[in-house]
A = this chain, B = another copy of it.
């Protein structure tokens, strides 16, 4: 028997000897083919995005090997997930759960603590357990991607009855997206709101069901003897989220308190008609007027879906790399933006929405929306059939906005050679004044960092997720430094205005959580208190969103990635940082 490969990073406070004996236990638990050590020799960039090893460094900005796991384990079922938690407690080894997809811009599959063990649920826990067309929900495991559920519906002809809601990329995990509180673009775009019921493995390995799932479908022993399937779940689990007593689901989102291994997701009834549309606006000033028009329409649900206001450079990047528009390496100028917009027959800002329902409803709604936007000088209106170019953004959005997963959005990351990106995602209210203020600040900082502003406003029920896509050349240390300086500076800048991020990259989790500091960090103290109680050994996703277990807090300087580089001025030269 050959000795196992030496991992690139060992877990904290763990000798190679102990690690090896831990791996032996993992192997006997999950089988040798389901345990993989991440060594210098093992491929990290094998091109398969379903393999979390790939993601580990794709978005790394500190160095190529800071956020890296020691090993990845692929449990085959829920009892193995439970057993892995008990094993990690026994060895006091941190574990970082992962489902499927890319988590692009937020850190991929990489763990916050170097040397953590990746727990990949995507390979085996990928069953679509139930699709209930009558009551419009599905019960899925973490490995079920948007593509997988879509294909399931398509194959059975069920899209006639129910639609999915999908995010920009369809390869991700439905559960993963919801527990990170990701968004989609149909009327069901708030993925946490549109879930019902969870099955969760707690840090100690206990299995909990929330909502109505906490009640078995029958408590009649005779009935259960006759029909053991009734023990699998309550019929209202996917229907009524809250159950009885404290509603705990939220503490399992963006958190390190449990691993969601089953979840109910609400499906949208086929609305009986659909029409995607685009409105192009000629200038930044038009964005201001447009948002004042949109706010009442969106809150009043005249705009039925989660629409997006995309900056010209984001759409341009979908059509081609920066080099296809200019030979300059400097940030694109205002004049160049106008030229690009003209070339692509788009506006400075481009609004993508959709109408849902039978023709008479759509007609009334479109009349209102078009009439309102028509007040803006220079606004132009398009349906997909009006656009003749191949693979226009509107054609991709036409699919996305009816819940058909795609990968079309991927291409903007190639704006620069060796393109990688970070998402900077502050929340703002739906207001021209605030949005423009946030845009101006962000654009100015992008220019200081010598990077382009590629952004989109995603219009939710009362607010907007302003998603700034910071594209950099991952092979160029200077470009990485620029991106890192930019995002750290923006976190700090925006906090001064009261603008907070809804989600962030691994390397920014401490910085962002530190801005949610009302009353001497009272929320963080609450989070730490619950964390310490449910995970006394601090093994589950330590450091996730800035929450450090007690054992790490004793030595916190070793772990926190602090708010340095936030003086407000860019460094004299980027190499100096």
> Which of B192, B269, B530 touches A296 (beta carbons < 8 Å)?
B269
Q: Which of A100-108, A275-283, A413-421, A499-507 contacts B (4 or more CB under 8 A)?
A: A499-507
B-chain residues with CB within 8 Å of residue A516 when the two chains form the complex: 214-215, 243-245
Q: Which of A66-74, A252-260, A321-329 contacts B (4 or more CB under 8 A)?
A: A252-260
Judging by beta carbons under 8 Å apart, are A242 and B502 in contact? yes
B-chain residues with CB within 8 Å of residue A220 when the two chains form the complex: 496-497
A21 at the interface (CB under 8 A from B): no
Judging by beta carbons under 8 Å apart, are B249 and A254 in contact? no
A207 at the interface (CB under 8 A from B): yes
**Which B residue's beta carbon lies closest to that of A218?**
B498
Judging by beta carbons under 8 Å apart, are B523 and A208 in contact? yes
B-chain residues with CB within 8 Å of residue A99 when the two chains form the complex: none
Judging by beta carbons under 8 Å apart, are A214 and B530 in contact? no
> Which of B296, B498, B547 touches A235 (beta carbons < 8 Å)?
B498
Judging by beta carbons under 8 Å apart, are B257 and A462 in contact? no
Judging by beta carbons under 8 Å apart, are B300 and A523 in contact? no
A377 at the interface (CB under 8 A from B): no
Q: Which of A5-13, A131-139, A445-453 contacts B (4 or more CB under 8 A)?
A: A131-139
> Which of B244, B500, B532 touches A254 (beta carbons < 8 Å)?
B244
Judging by beta carbons under 8 Å apart, are B246 and A257 in contact? yes
A479 at the interface (CB under 8 A from B): no
- A242 and B215 CA atoms in complex are apart in Å by 27
Q: Which of A27-35, A150-158, A425-433, A482-490 contacts B (4 or more CB under 8 A)?
A: A425-433
Sample of 20 A–B contacts (CB below 8 Å): A135-B295, A206-B522, A207-B522, A208-B519, A209-B518, A214-B517, A219-B517, A234-B500, A239-B429, A239-B463, A240-B427, A242-B253, A244-B501, A244-B504, A246-B250, A248-B250, A248-B527, A250-B251, A272-B300, A526-B534
* 17 new A-B contacts at CB < 8 Å, known A208-B518, A240-B463, A242-B254: A209-B519, A215-B498, A217-B498, A220-B497, A230-B498, A234-B500, A236-B463, A242-B502, A243-B516, A245-B545, A246-B547, A247-B253, A247-B254, A248-B523, A269-B299, A358-B364, A530-B533
